């Protein structure tokens, strides 16, 4: 999947794609890490190697669930990994970050994908599924822009800032020709069409990150704490990013938030964000990578968390981003599935797993973060 032009979600061609590919390669190193069985065994068999040099680990059937933000990436990873390691079967249900966390903490999955970290209480609860005193940790694996899609026939480019977005999503602005929107789009003939706001109905890390942005950059216009559950009044609630994007695509006057691949695949035009930088910033993988590169890293043992700067005014940095974490145990993972899970995570974080994610609509994580992730995977059991 390729980045957008400024005029909407129409696809650019060779130049930007080549840059994206270079960015992806820059963020990666060797795959590293062992994929053999963990625990107290005195003899560990060398992992089998599949096509392309991918280490396969001990064959198993893996179930995982969670983040819809990484669903396109997960399809790409599973397809390529199981092509090389055909004896391992992997399924991933994109049921939302909250549901994925619940599945993992109930012991139903080998790992979870989540755009929001577990709470301290959830980490404490993870001791029930992480044997031998283990606990759940977070491994950042992929990032990307949260696009704000809109459906206004005849409007190719729309600029909004955080305070205006906050008012729109909190039912404070009702029509598209509102003076606040017009002031950001001089020379554009905006219609008096009623605004139809769509938001997630399920527990969503995308919602958590989007509302964190509105709270951090909205200059007081967003009165709610950020969270996985939508708190604002009004609007239409829809489950999952795919169905939310479908509603925006088919509804005149609509606006909603979802990860960039959902906008690109449906040719939905997306908002350019006025951050206070010299020029508004479009939702694309280069701009998101630029913003994510400035994230602060918080390390706590094997845990690796990123703190995004939603209020960035760095030129060319898109501020509404998400980082998806894979949640596993630092020790005490299920013996039957851990060798295969470890091999799959090692592939995801390595060069072969990361190198083409920009073409799927994802941003690259900083090289130092992925190096840290690969080191941590190698130490887990």
- What is the chain's pLDDT, residue by residue, as a tens digit (381 residues)? 333 333 333 333 323 333 333 333 223 333 333 333 333 333 334 456 666 779 998 999 999 999 999 999 999 999 999 999 999 999 999 999 999 999 999 999 999 999 999 999 999 999 999 999 999 999 999 999 999 999 999 999 999 999 999 999 999 999 999 999 999 999 999 999 999 999 999 999 999 999 999 999 999 999 999 999 999 989 999 999 999 999 999 999 999 999 999 999 999 999 999 999 999 999 999 999 999 999 999 877 889 999 999 999 999 999 999 999 999 999 999 999 999 999 999 999 999 999 989 988 999 899 999 999 999 999 999
- Where in the sequence is the domain holding 337, given as residue range(s)? 14-142+326-379
Q: Give the end of a domain, one of 233, 268, 289.
A: 289
150 and 257 assigned to the same domain: yes
> Which long-range contacts link 84-87 to residues 24+ away (Cβ below 8 Å)?
84/50, 84/51, 84/52, 84/54, 84/56, 85/48, 85/50, 85/54, 85/56, 85/57, 85/59, 85/343, 86/50, 87/56, 87/59
149 and 285 assigned to the same domain: yes
Domain count, the chain: 2
What span, in angstroms and rounded, lies between the C-alpha atoms of 137 and 84? 28
What span, in angstroms and rounded, lies between the C-alpha atoms of 180 and 185? 9
Angle between helices 285-292 and 14-26 in degrees, nearest 10: 30
**CATH number where 356 lies:** 3.40.190.10
pTM: predicted TM-score of the whole model, two decimal places:
0.85
25 and 131 assigned to the same domain: yes
Containing H/E element for 147? strand 136-150
Could you tell me how far CA 292 lies from the centroid of its own chain? 11
């Amino acid at each position: 999947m390729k980045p957008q032009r400024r005029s909407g979600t129409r696809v650019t061609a060779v130049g930007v794609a080549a840059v994206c590919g270079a960015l992806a390669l820059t963020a990666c190193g060797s795959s590293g890490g062992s994929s053999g069985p963990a625990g107290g065994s005195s003899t560990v068999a060398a992992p089998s190697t599949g096509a392309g040099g991918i280490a396969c680990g001990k064959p198993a059937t893996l179930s995982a669930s969670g983040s819809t933000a990484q669903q396109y990436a997960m399809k790409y990873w599973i397809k390529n990994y199981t092509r090389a390691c055909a004896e391992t079967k992997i399924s991933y249900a994109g049921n939302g970050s909250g549901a994925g966390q619940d599945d993992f903490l109930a012991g139903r999955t080998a790992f979870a994908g989540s755009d929001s970290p577990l709470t301290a209480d959830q980490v404490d609860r993870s001791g029930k599924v992480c044997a031998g005193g283990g606990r759940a940790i977070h491994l950042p694996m992929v990032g990307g822009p949260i696009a704000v899609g809109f459906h206004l026939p005849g409007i190719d480019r729309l600029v909004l800032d955080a305070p205006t977005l906050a008012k729109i999503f909190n039912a404070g602005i009702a029509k598209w020709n509102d003076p606040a929107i017009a002031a950001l789009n001089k020379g554009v003939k905006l219609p008096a069409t009623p605004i139809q706001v769509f938001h997630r109905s399920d527990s969503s890390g995308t919602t958590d990150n989007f509302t964190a942005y509105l709270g951090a950059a909205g200059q007081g216009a967003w009165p709610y704490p950020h969270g996985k559950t939508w708190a604002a009044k009004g609007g239409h609630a829809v489950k999952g990013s795919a169905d939310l994007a479908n509603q925006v695509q088919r509804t005149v006057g609509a606006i909603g938030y979802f990860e960039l691949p959902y906008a690109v695949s449906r040719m939905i035009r997306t908002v350019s964000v006025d951050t206070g930088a010299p020029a508004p910033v479009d939702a694309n993988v280069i701009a998101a990578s630029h913003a994510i590169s400035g994230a602060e890293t918080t390390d706590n043992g094997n845990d690796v968390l990123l703190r995004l700067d939603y209020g960035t005014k760095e030129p060319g940095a898109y501020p509404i981003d998400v980082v998806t974490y894979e949640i596993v145990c630092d020790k005490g993972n299920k013996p039957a599935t851990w060798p295969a899970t470890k091999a799959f995570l090692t592939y995801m974080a390595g060069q072969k797993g990361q190198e083409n994610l920009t073409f799927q609509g994802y941003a690259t994580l900083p090289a130092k973060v992925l190096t840290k992730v690969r080191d941590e995977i190698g130490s887990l059991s």
